[in-house]
Amino acid sequence: MKPIRVALAGAGNCAWSFSQFVAQAQAEPDTRLPGLMCHTVGGYRLADVRVVAAFDVDEAKVGRSLAEAFTAPAIAATGFTALGTDRDAPVLPAPLLDGLAGPLGSVVTPAAAAREATPEEVAKALVEHDADVLVIALPTGASRAIRMFAEAALTAGTAVVNCTPEEIARDEELARRFTQARVPLLGDDLRSHLGATTLHTALIELLLSRGLELSRTYQLNVGGNTDFLNLADASRSATKFASKANALRAAGATDVEGVAGPTGFIGHLGDTKLCFASIRATSVLGSEVEIDIKLTVEDSPNAAGVIANAVRAAKTAADRGLAGRVDGPSPLLFKSPPRGLPESEARAAFLAFAS
């Protein structure tokens, strides 16, 4: 099959882990890799993916190759393997807009080219690099920058995977325009492969399937990468809290006292994320059930496994003539899709789409 040509909006930690995962698959194309839920999606292997370009605003990344950009000081994710075919893909300047607003401005110096870049240049670059899919992995809260990339992809006819909590797929007007342009749109807010929300919602579904009544729950997340630094600003994290609330409601936690979201930046954790979750429920004869868990994961590889599914789903949707919001794979891949489903139903819907 023809390669899936992917462009990355944001050459950060998640992009680095995803690019490594692609490189590993390219080196071992017929191996079932740990963490890859589906070896093929729509007939595409992960080895069929090519990262052809990236966009960023960091002066340590812009104008460099993809491999060089991922050595920038802001990168905290572990380097597990060297990039292969895609190592020389260019990192192009993105318009600065609100990408570095908040705490990120204290650790990232914007490139001069980013101050001069335009949305029209982004759309032109997507066409010139013949990108099939644009993965938007910008900082949460960078609303103007995220929407600019969605508009550029719409202009270029490039399918979009929105990894951010910004409402792109949930935006009725924008989704309508993607439908009219015959361009697939997947989102919003990428789930981790086995992360806090996935575990939390799976436990909620389990309790509800046994007839228990939920009374209260919480999910608290801390980490040390630039994502958590950015989310330490309440003005940047608001959409993340809303997205996680959507995920809990889709799992069945309606009218339940609770909160879920990022609650702290601890620099020495690096790319490690800690989740502390609690669920209280009532069972037979009013007896109480209490679940308290701690989950420790490396944050960025946990996202890479889902992006690996999402880009192949987006290209498959385009191959099948689907346009606008693509509901089949989205409930499993995103926290806040337009139509959420419990974990088991979401998995079944994704597998049906992938086959």
Could you say which of 275, 298, 321 is where a domain stops?
298
Distance of alpha carbon 71 from alpha carbon 75, whole angstroms? 7
| pLDDT tens-digit readout, 148-162 | 999 999 999 999 999
11 and 61 share a domain? yes
Asked if residue 343 and residue 257 are part of one domain, the reply reads no
What range defines the domain where residue 252 resides? 196-298
SS3 102: helix
Does residue 221 share a domain with residue 163?
A: no
How many domains does the chain fold into?
2
State the pairing for strand pair 40-41/4-9.
unpaired
Q: What is the pLDDT of residues 82-111, one digit of tens each?
A: 999 999 999 999 999 999 998 999 999 999
Please tell me the predicted confidence (pLDDT) of residue 275: 95
Same domain, 320 and 290: no
Q: Are residues 124 and 202 in the same domain?
A: no
| Structural domain ending residue among the three candidates 279, 298, 317 | 298
Beta bridge partners of 260: 219
> Are 65 and 183 in the same domain?
yes
Q: What tokens appear for 83 in the block?
A: 């990039």
Tell me, yes or no, whether 204 and 152 share the same domain.
no
Residues 28 and 115 grouped into a single domain? yes
Residue 247's nearest CA partner among 237, 238, 260, 236 is: 260
pLDDT of residue 256: 79
Each residue's pLDDT expressed in tens, for the chain with a length of 355 residues: 799 999 999 999 999 999 999 999 999 998 889 999 999 999 999 999 999 999 999 999 999 999 999 999 999 999 999 999 999 999 999 999 999 998 999 999 999 999 999 999 999 999 999 999 999 999 999 999 999 999 999 999 999 999 999 999 999 999 999 999 999 999 999 999 998 999 999 999 999 999 999 999 999 999 999 999 999 898 889 888 988 888 888 888 887 787 888 889 999 999 999 999 999 999 999 999 999 999 999 999 999 999 999 999 999 999 999 999 999 999 999 999 999 998 899 999 999 999 9
Q: Is the peptide bond before 255 cis (omega within 30 degrees of 0)?
A: no
Which H or E run includes 52? strand 49-56
Residues 143 and 77 in one domain: yes
184-186 and 257-265 strand pairing: unpaired
**58, 111 contact by CB (below 8 A):** yes
Are residues 321 and 234 part of one domain? no
Q: Which of 349, 317, 338, 259 is nearest to 43 (CA)?
A: 317
What CATH number did the domain enclosing 83 receive? Answer: 3.40.50.720
C-beta of residue 183 within 8 angstroms of C-beta of residue 157:
yes
Q: Are residues 120 and 269 in the same domain?
A: no
CATH number at residue 228: 3.30.360.10
The answer to whether the beta carbons of residues 301 and 77 sit under 8 Å apart is yes
Domain identity same for 168 and 234: no
**Sequence-ordered list of residues with C-beta below 8 angstroms from that of 328, at least 6 positions apart, any chain:** 313, 349, 350, 352, 353
